[in-house]
A and B are shown apart, each in its own frame.
Chain A
Amino acid sequence: MTSSAMPPAAPAPNPASSLEVPPTGPVTAPLATPAATQAAPGTPMIAIDNVSKWYGDFQVLTNCTTATRKGEVVVVCGPSGSGKSTLIKCVNALEPFQKGQITVDGTQVANRKTNLPKLRSRVGMVFQHFELFPHLTITDNLSLAQRKVLGRGKDEAVAKGLALLERVGLKAHAHKFPGQLSGGQQQRVAIARALAMNPIVMLFDEPTSALDPEMVGEVLDVMVELAREGMTMMVVTHEMGFARKVANRVIFMDKGEIVEDAHKEDFFGSPRSERAQQFLSRILSH
C-alpha cells in the first residue's frame, strides 16, 4: 500500500530548447518567465511529505508523499473521487490539510507565518471550468491580480497581459468578455492569466475535461509549449497523450493514496499495481 511512493532518483531533463517548439506565429518571448527561485534545477520545487487530510470522518488523502523537481512535469491521474484535485489544492493552500508537510520552493505551506497570498501568487493554477471573471474584459482578467497582488502599474500589467495573450494566439480578443469566447479560448486565457504572475510552478486541475473534443488540442498545445520551456508543472489530467509527450513522471492515485509514482516509461510500460493497470486499460480503450 505505502510502497512505491518515492519519486525516482533523477528526473529526465526537459528538452528546454525553445527551438523545438513548433512556431505558433512570430517568434516572441517565451510563455514562461518564472520569477527567481531558491531551487536549483533538479531540487524539489514542490515537496509533499506524508500529507493526510480529512473531511470530518472521511479521509480524502492518506500519507501522500511525492516531490516535483524544478523543470519537471508530473501528471496526476486516477479514478474520480480519488483525491487528485484535493492534493493539488493543498499545494497552494486552497485546501487545508491536517497532517504532513508541503513546501513550495522552500516555503512551508501550512506554516502560520507563511504569507499565503504571496505564496499563491507564485503558484499558477488552472481550473477545469476556467474560472475567468465574467464581469471583466480579457485584458482586465489578465491584469487584475498583477496590479492588486504584485503592485504593477496599469500600463505594465496590461502590456504583460497582452504579450501573453499574443503568445496563446488570442490578442484580437483582448477587449472581449469571457462569455464571448469559446471554452478552449477561455482556458487559454486562464493559462495566460496564471502566467502573467510569473509563477515558479503551475498547477492544472483537469484543464481539458470541460472542453468539447475539438478544443482540447489548442489547450494542450499551450501546455506542451510551456512544459518544453521548462516550467515546473503538476497536471491532473486523463490526457495520456499529453503525459506521453511531455511528462517526466506519472502519479496514479486511488482512494486518497498515491498508489504509483513512476517514470513515464515505467508507468506506461509496466505499471506495477493492478489498480493502475485497470485504470489505464479503461481510459486508453476510449
Chain B
Amino acid sequence: MNYNWNWGIFFDLSPEGTGTYADMLLSGLMWTIVTALCAWVIAFAIGSVVGVLRTLPSRAAQAVGNAYVELFRNVPLLVQMFLWFFVLPEVLPESWGTWLKQLPNAPFYTAVVCLGFFTASRVAEQVRAGIQALPRGQRMAGTALGLTTAQTYRYVLLPNAYRIILPPMTSEFLNNLKNTSVALTIGLLELTARARSMQEFSFQVFEAFTAATILYILINLVVVTVSGMLERRFAVPGR
C-alpha cells in the first residue's frame, strides 16, 4: 500500500480557517457529547414515564406504553432521523414548517429530539424490566401503608428499579452516544462528520479515523468510570 503517513497533520490548519485539524475534531467531539447528553435527558424522562406506564394496572396505560416502544424501537434510527428532519417540516402547517427549517442549528435540535425519542423506547424497556424484577410484595407493601400509586413508584419501586438497571442503562447510554454519528446524515458536525471532512480535505484517512476511534474509546471509558462510581455511590448495604 502506498500511503503517505503524516501524524503531524493534526497541527496543520484546516481549510475552514477556524483552526487546526485537531481543533476541528475536538469541536466534533464536543457536539457528539452535547448531543448525547441532551438526548439522554429526553430519553431518561420519556423512557421512565413510558416504562412506568407499562407496569401500571391500567390496560389503557399499558397499551399507550407498548405502542410507544413498538413504534420507536422498530423503525430504523436513520429512517427516524430523516422523518424528523425532512418529512416533519413538510407535513406540519406551512408556517411551522418554515420556522423549523430556518431554525439555526436545526440538525442539532433534530438530532437531540430524534435520538431522545428513539433511546427513550430502549430506556422504557429497561425501566419496565427493572420494575418487574422487583418482588411483587414491594408494591403491595407500599400500597398497604397507604402510599398512593405515584408515591409507591417514586419512593419504593423506581429507586430500586434504577439500581437494578444501572448496568444495562450504561450500555444504553453508550449506544446513544455512538448513535449520534447517524446525525451526520442530516448535517450535524459531530465527531464522525468531522473525521470525514478531515479525510476529504487532507486525504489522511487513517489518521483522521484513528483519532476519531481513540476519542470515542476515551469517552466510553469516561462513561464506564462514571457508571462505576454511581454504582458504588448508590449500592445498598447488605445486598
Contacts and interface: CB of A to CB of B under 8 A. Distances in A.
Interface of A: 89, 92, 94, 117-125, 127-129, 131-135, 144-145, 148-150, 176-181, 193-194, 197
Given A135-B163, A145-B147, A148-B151, A179 B237 contact: yes
A94 B147 CA distance: 12
A127 B140 contact: yes
Nearest to A115: B146
B75 interface: no
A121 B145 CA distance: 5
Where chain B touches its partner, the secondary structure class is helix
25 contacts: A92-B144, A117-B148, A118-B146, A120-B146, A121-B146, A123-B144, A125-B140, A127-B141, A131-B138, A131-B140, A132-B141, A133-B142, A133-B155, A135-B160, A135-B236, A144-B145, A144-B147, A145-B146, A148-B147, A148-B151, A149-B147, A176-B237, A177-B236, A180-B238, A181-B238
A133 B140 CA distance: 11
Question: Which 9 pairs show the lowest CB-CB distances between chains A and B?
Answer: A179-B238, A121-B146, A180-B238, A131-B141, A145-B145, A149-B146, A125-B144, A131-B137, A179-B239
B136 to A, nearest CB: 9
Given A132-B141, A133-B142, A179-B238, 7 more contacts: A127-B140, A133-B141, A133-B155, A133-B156, A134-B239, A135-B160, A148-B155
Contacts of B236: 134-135, 177, 179
Contacts of B171: none
Contacts, number: 80
A123 B144 CA distance: 8
Interface string B216-239: 000000000000000000001111
Centre residue among A133, A150, A177, A181 by max chain B CB count within 10 A? A133
A94 B137 contact: no
B137 A197 contact: no
A207 B155 CA distance: 24
Centre residue among A117, A129, A150, A178 by max chain B CB count within 10 A? A117
Contacts of B163: 135
A117 B135 contact: no
B167 interface: no
Interface string B17-34: 000000000000000000
Interface in B100-155: 135, 137-138, 140-148, 151, 155
Contact of A177 (B137, B138, B143, B238): B238
Interface of B: 135, 137-138, 140-148, 151, 155-156, 159-160, 163, 236-239
A89 B136 CA distance: 13
A193 B145 CA distance: 9
Contacts of B237: 176-177, 179-180
Contacts of B140: 89, 94, 125, 127, 131
A117 B142 CA distance: 10
B238 A135 contact: no
Contacts of A89: 140
Contacts of B156: 133
A132 to B, nearest CB: 8
Contact of A120 (B137, B145, B160, B239): B145
A123 B137 CA distance: 16
Centre residue among B143, B145, B160, B239 by max chain A CB count within 10 A? B145
B146 A176 contact: no
A22 B31 CA distance: 71
A144 B146 contact: no
A131 B238 CA distance: 15
Given A129-B135, A134-B160, A94 B238 contact: no
Contacts of A123: 144
A127 B147 contact: no
A197 B143 CA distance: 13
A119 B151 CA distance: 16
B158 to A, nearest CB: 10
Nearest to B145: A145
Contacts of A176: 237-238
A129 B137 contact: yes
A191 to B, nearest CB: 13
